[in-house]
Chains A and B, each alone.
Chain A
Amino acid sequence: MITFSAKRVLLVCALAFAVLLGLGFVLPKWLVFLGTIALANGLVSLGIVLMMRSGVVPFGQGLVFAAGGYTAALLFNRLGITDALLLSVLGGVAAFCISLPFAPLLARYRGIFFAMLTLALSMVLYGILMKTDTLGGSDGFNVTRPTLFGFRPEAAQSTLLLWGVTAGITCLMAGLARVYCDSTRGLLSLAVRENELRVEYMGMSVVNLVAWNYLLAAFVGGIGGALGVLALGHIDPNFSYWTTSGEFVFVAILAGYQSVTAVLVSSLLLELVRSFSSAYFPNTWQLVLGIFLLLVIRFLPDGLGSQMYRLLPKRPTKD
């Protein structure tokens, strides 16, 4: 894995944010909206990739996506908190807190058991949301345009404002994720993925490491949920449904575990495939998506990130 210094990572993130912000002014509005959704969803997949690095794949990140989304929507409608930035952070905090009691339990399981347990939790939340009228029941509820530092945009500016907030948060989270992947814990996560027994004999608690990765994934996933609901202007229990979780896993598999940027590119790719498939192959876009995934697994088993990784210069070592 390539090592970046934290300063360099932050500089790259600032540049990426400037480019994305600039693109918001020149790209068509529909594409900016699509990009906002892609980045918000990409944050959830980014969390999955953090967990993939320690050898587990959750199939229930709809739980944190919905937790973040419902928190933002409820705070918006019930408490009048309309600041997009604040709502995003609170969405992340809520998802973190909801995941906290489950983390030590889930961290003891591996493989299909971990995946199914996370899926079960997300479906329990789905069931609760469907039956709870105060949370909108099966219809959910709407959210109007958010503000930023007291500024309330016009309808035409709203998409651009939310794009800016989403791009800023995503770049920051992607940068922090990169720093985390290169940190001592990031290195140990890869060691856990390879050989848990060895890591225990190094003196490290594998359960602690996996649990923290789950919580970090919950935090970024919650932020993604909050941004998602602000972009869509509506939330319903489908945020926690298993097909939603499946799409996040799809993006994570498409990206692989080696590159943070690949996660966001993959998320954008999924949204484009979904949009164009819906337009040109109505009712069969899942078929297109399935074929697309098969091709990725066949020809890019380590994901898009492995190709991006190959293009980067290798870390010098003393041979």
Chain B
Amino acid sequence: MNSSRTILLSARSLNRSFGAVVAAAAISIDIASGERLCLIGSNGAGKTTFVNMITGYLKPSSGHIVLDGEDITALAPREITRRGVARSFQIPQLCMHMPVLDNLLASLHCSRGERSFLRSGRDTSAVTECLRLLDRFGLAKHASRPVMELPGGVRKLLDIAMALTGHPKLLMLDEPTSGVSAEEKFMTMDTVMTAIDRGAHGSPVTVVFVEHDMDIVERYASRVIAFYSGRVIADGSPSSVLADTEVQRYVTGSVRSPAEAAA
């Protein structure tokens, strides 16, 4: 982690269990402003639980989450969103029967705090801004199509575009390339990262993303945290974390255990 940067979010001693399964055991992570932090780990390691706790979907059993000096641990998801933390989902959460443009318009109005009983939801300025955002994601041609008609990769991009309407300080992407074909993964990530940079308006957008593809991790992350069994087992630059023997054993699977070697 780059210590010269200001800390945007600080998670301290987060614990969370589901019955006997420990999903988070004393997780303490500081996220600096402008970082591209990638969370890696096998299924059930606690990555999504961490994202869910930060964004208010799950409350930690104990511990604190501080955003820009404010404790957000007990806040509802909408309150956390209003404070500048946006997220996308592993399974895109969209309004399937509504057109792509209406999905984005709804998100834009919420992020602007517009909840008028009379003002049109499709006023020209909002539509223009949404079309501009769709264009950044290469989705403008789908504007009038219902989401249910779109392929999975396009839905992923729309899910991320909706998270960006509020110009968040912290953007959390849960497996942005899952469901996207291997040859399209880099293109998808390029589109996402370029769109994030172009929409930053001068202030850096801090990005936390969950990823399983190590090629993606190496290319797009500035820092990597590896999870295993609800614990952080490595934290550092992509090269150092991916070279860590524990990470290779429990996450990437590139080192065989002694038992496996003997067999």
Contact = CB atoms under 8 A, between A and B. Distances in A.
Contact of B98 (A180, A182, A186, A194): A194
B144 interface: yes
Nearest to A198: B93
Interface string A190-233: 11001101111111110000000000000000000000000000
B136 to A, nearest CB: 14
Contacts of A203: 78, 81-82, 110-111, 113, 166
A202 B115 contact: no
Contacts of B111: 202-203
A3 B102 CA distance: 12
A6 interface: yes
B121 A187 contact: yes
A48 interface: no
Given A184-B109, A190-B98, A201 B86 contact: yes
A318 interface: yes
B143 A318 contact: yes
A66 B181 CA distance: 59
B122 A3 contact: yes
A198 B114 CA distance: 17
B140 A202 contact: no
A132 interface: no
A183 B143 contact: no
A103 interface: no
A202 B96 contact: no
Consensus secondary structure, chain A interface: helix
Interface in B85-104: 86-87, 93-99, 101-103
A201 B106 CA distance: 11
B95 A318 contact: no
Contacts of B76: 200
Nearest to B55: A201
Q: Which of A3, A200, A202 has the most CB of B within 10 A?
A: A202
Given A3-B120, A195-B95, A202-B110, A185 B115 contact: yes
Q: Which interface class (under 10, 10 to 19, 20 to 34, 35 or more) fits B?
A: 35 or more
A183 B110 contact: no
B118 A179 contact: yes
Nearest to B134: A318
Contact of B106 (A182, A199, A318, A319): A199
B49 to A, nearest CB: 17
B96 A317 contact: no
B38 interface: no
Contact of B110 (A186, A188, A195, A318): A188
A190 B81 CA distance: 20
Interface in B165-184: 166
A144 interface: no
B105 interface: yes
A204 B116 contact: no
A1 to B, nearest CB: 8
Contact of A180 (B95, B103, B118): B118
Nearest to B114: A184
Given A184-B115, A187-B122, A188-B109, A195 B78 contact: no
A195 B77 contact: no
19 contacts: A3-B120, A182-B120, A183-B118, A183-B119, A184-B109, A184-B114, A184-B121, A187-B102, A188-B109, A188-B115, A201-B55, A201-B78, A201-B87, A201-B93, A202-B106, A203-B82, A203-B110, A204-B115, A319-B144
In order of increasing CB-CB distance, the 8 nearest A-B pairs are: A187-B121, A194-B95, A202-B110, A317-B144, A203-B81, A198-B93, A191-B106, A184-B109
Interface of B: 55, 76-78, 81-82, 86-87, 93-99, 101-103, 105-107, 109-111, 113-122, 131, 140-141, 143-144, 162-163, 166
